[in-house]
Amino acid sequence: MPPAKKEVKKLDIDEHTLPIEKCAERYSTKIDPNKPTASFGLTQSEAENSTENNFFSITGIDPVDNGIATVYVGIVIIAVAVLNALIEFVQLMASEKALAGFLNMIPSKSQVIRDGKLKNLPAAELVLGDIVFVRMGDKVPADIFIIAATDFKVDNSSLTGEAEPQERGPHNSMQNQLEATNLAFNSTLAVNGEAYGIVIRCGDNTVLGQIAGLTQSEHKAKSPMTTEINNFVATIGTVAILSAIIFFIIAQVNTGKISFALNFAIGVLVAWVPEGLPATVTMLLTIAAKRMAAEKVLVKDLRGVETLGAITLLATDKTGTLTRNQMTATNFWCGLKLYSANLSATNLPSDEKAFDYNGSGIQEILHISAMCSRARFDRTDVPIDQRTITGDATESGLFRFAAQKLNDIDQLQDKYPKVFEIPFNSENKWHMAIHKKPHATGKLTLFMKGAPERILRICSTILKDGEAITMEQDHQDEFTRSYEYMAGKGHRVLAFAMLNLPESEYPENIEFKKEPKNYPSTGLCFVGLASLEDPPKHGVREAIGRCREAGIKIMMVTGDHPLTAEAIGRKINLMLSDTKDLHAKKTGRAIESIAESEIHAIVIHGERIDELTDADWDNIFSKDEIIFARTSPKHKLQIVKRAQSLGHIVGVTGDGVNDSPALKKADLGISMNISGSDVSKEAASMILLDDNFASTVKGVKEGRLIFVNLKKCIQYTVTHTIPEVIPFILWVVVPIPSMIGSLQVLVVDLGFELFASLSYAWEPAESDYLMKLPPRIPVSPESIAKLRKRRIEDVEDAGGNANDANGNDGHPVELTLSQKLKMLTSMRYWKRKFEKPDGEIMVDSNGLSWAYLEVGFIEFIGSATAFFVVMYKGKYPDGTVFGLSPWDIRAMQQSPNSYFASGAPAYTTLTGSNLVK
């Protein structure tokens, strides 16, 4: 029976494809699309019945997936939580604070039509089929299907990452559920207008709930520290239990007293187990987490402290993480000429000309930047250089440059009022606005800006010397050269186009509509290109250098153009080597003739990701320098899974809602505090309080230091195991009196040793070598081959097919319980358990042999010597010497007279002296 493959969950939404009447019929509600205020909605009794019938749906419970077994699981979890309440209290409080921001996203009140009347009800009481009214300033109380709207716009940025408010209404032409124009989603903010909609999703079934569910479905892999300590605990627990059973039998045979044998077995068990170790590890991690908080790194999961020090691969965003997200205009290409936007530059490159306000297309680009934009000044009563701009960083950079050059920037919107607009979205990748700007053939002008490839595709002419001329192939070739030149410098590039709308087709009073579309979308005039630079953050280059020195592979995952991403990567030293294309260009060789072993850098376009084979992924991750460009959040999750399947310990940075599955799946998810969404912060194990990538380097060093100190601490903690166990063994085997009791063992473990071991929390690094060592569990071709072989053997030992060893995403498949039990019967499985692990682990055989055998026996010899010296040289209060030799002690213990008990008879030592007391 092959291992079960994990089902991939997707968003369950199809209402956006339904006509309004069909949607109303599905949810059994009464509507009037022409006059929504006259809609009757549900009756109160229908709402109550819906609550009863759809209780599981509303609360997000699946009665099929959550049978009675879940109840027992819950009882067990509660029992465990109660037992560990004191240890977990601080951790739970931190989680509650993190959840507070997430819960604030959920609106508390809503306006709903029931029995034909508009009522205010708590959002928690909404049911499927309710008709709700949402207006500007409200948070959408559930997922709704819009039946009527007036200038209704919502802010989807927390959900989809789209910076611009999105227009919503009763019509839709989008296939993507998240971009459907007839749906508004729970927790999104209405920023303009008003709308009526049918409730189609409540509770955990909303899009927000489903995304959170996807996050929960991505099980975080156990941290290396957790795995290693669990293995140690399992080993020491097995030894302790077996020792207790064996010596219980010996004690029973020797003494015939079951109570004595039982007490003895308990003593052996207690002596073997380092009771203070869990508390010691937790406290050391807590102290380290506090130090990291002082470095602007907030640790939510204490195990993440050590994980950060163990990562082998860090996947990071570009904008806002590696760069400042502060766009500045750098170049313009218009009229087939390239201009510099640096007004003070003196030594310009030979390809660039000084900025010329009267250059062909310059003024048009400035006007488009100012009018086809959502960026605005917060105030107009101060000089321009003192004003703050609200809006997207890219638009803000263009708007500020235009404001510096246009004298009438504050009056421009009034002078040329906007009559129609389609904001930028991830499907179109352009922003269009139509303004009342007169020209020779009419009074309306269409402006557009967006992705260069998309804009060029819908243009048939190009602006040159003030005239629109037919676009020829040489114009397109010049466009490509200029585009690659700008993007090659690491700049973000936008294209601009316009069209003078003839009054014969588009009169001044025309009402433009998205559906049915009555605006031109082809035949535009290409105006030019503009590039903007988002400078790298201070310290990023040095931080990447330190990570590289520490053997950590830094990988950029961005939505930007590959050339832009590569150029930024080279600016910050993330990419130093040549890619295959660049190497071929430099050497004049054909790309096909260049072996992969010659290349150490690669840039992957997001469009290729879904088509990559296992061999392709192996080749990508074999490179030292990797950039993924034009990617989506879905791609980021796929990249994380693929890297983990090769044995990488992966860290991921992210800030959006859609980043949360990747953050959860990563070994260490790192969210941004300033720019991060509440959902991403909840999914992450660590939060950068200052959004500064350089802070992660400090965290890596702290993580490596805590690993070294934890290793020392564990070795120190277990050194007293042997001197605690052997006295119990000698008590039965020799026998001699027990040198130490169970209570004394607990006092040593939880008292003296606990506080002594805590001193390792403040142990400084012995030198600066920590950040010059490779990761403690490095990834190499040999380790990858070994890992894959082990997975195949595990599946074969479990009775499965070797071809099913890996899932579609390269991750190992999950084995059933019966398969796991069958695997335990394989000798090959147990042989692998005792193989020497790759890299350095926290509890290794060398450390244990030193702690248990060498130091442990030295401590035992010292403590046993002290015991015998006291028994021989010790004195009673009256000055009488004990005078007991080891042989006397053994004879007294073997005697039925119980000489060591109170009231025992006098004992005559082997030397002939009487021991009266």
Tokens 């008990």 locate to 901
Inter-residue contact 716 to 277 (CB < 8 Å): no
Inter-residue contact 435 to 371 (CB < 8 Å): yes
Structure tokens at 81: 């939580």
Among 380, 511, 523, which Cα is nearest to 444's? 511
Inter-residue contact 795 to 813 (CB < 8 Å): yes
Structure tokens at 30: 């009464």
Structure tokens at 838: 């790759």
Inter-residue contact 403 to 465 (CB < 8 Å): no
- Residue 500, beta-bridge partner list: 445
Inter-residue contact 271 to 747 (CB < 8 Å): no
Catalytic pick from 317, 678, 691, 749?
317
Is cis: bond before 274, omega within 30 of 0?
no
Is cis: bond before 33, omega within 30 of 0?
no
- Residue 109, beta-bridge partner list: 122
How far is residue 774's CA from residue 840's CA, in Å, rounded to a whole number? 10
How far is residue 196's CA from residue 411's CA, in Å, rounded to a whole number? 35
Neighbours of 115 (CB within 10 A): 13
How far is residue 89's CA from residue 576's CA, in Å, rounded to a whole number? 47
3-state secondary structure of 526: strand
Q: Who contacts 417 (Cβ-Cβ below 8 Å, separation ≥6)? A: 435, 436
Burial label, 101 (beta-carbon count in 10 A; 0-12, 13-18, 19+): middle
Structure tokens at 358: 């009267």
How far is residue 46's CA from residue 51's CA, in Å, rounded to a whole number? 9
Inter-residue contact 162 to 177 (CB < 8 Å): no
Structure tokens at 122: 């708590």
For β-strands 553-557 and 625-629, DSSP reports them as: parallel
Inter-residue contact 307 to 446 (CB < 8 Å): no
How far is residue 736's CA from residue 44's CA, in Å, rounded to a whole number? 83
Q: Who contacts 463 (Cβ-Cβ below 8 Å, separation ≥6)? A: 334, 335, 360, 361, 364, 498, 525, 526, 527, 528
Q: What are phi and psi of 885, to 5 degrees?
A: -85, 165
888 catalytic, yes or no? no
DSSP E strands in 700-841: the ranges are none
Buried b (16+ CB within 10 A) or exposed e, 591-621: eeebeeeebbbbbbebeebeeeeeeebbebb
Burial label, 539 (beta-carbon count in 10 A; 0-12, 13-18, 19+): middle
How far is residue 30's CA from residue 565's CA, in Å, rounded to a whole number? 52
Report the first-to-last Cα separation within the chain, whole angstroms: 74
Inter-residue contact 372 to 433 (CB < 8 Å): yes
Q: Specify the DSSP class assigned to residue 41.
A: B
Neighbours of 192 (CB within 10 A): 16
- Residue 910, beta-bridge partner list: none
Length of the chain: 917
3-state helix, strand, coil in the chain (%, to 5): 45, 20, 35
> What is the Cα Rg of the chain in Å?
36
Answer left, alpha or beta for residue 539, where phi above 0 means left and psi between -120 and 50 means alpha: left
Which of the residues are catalytic? 317
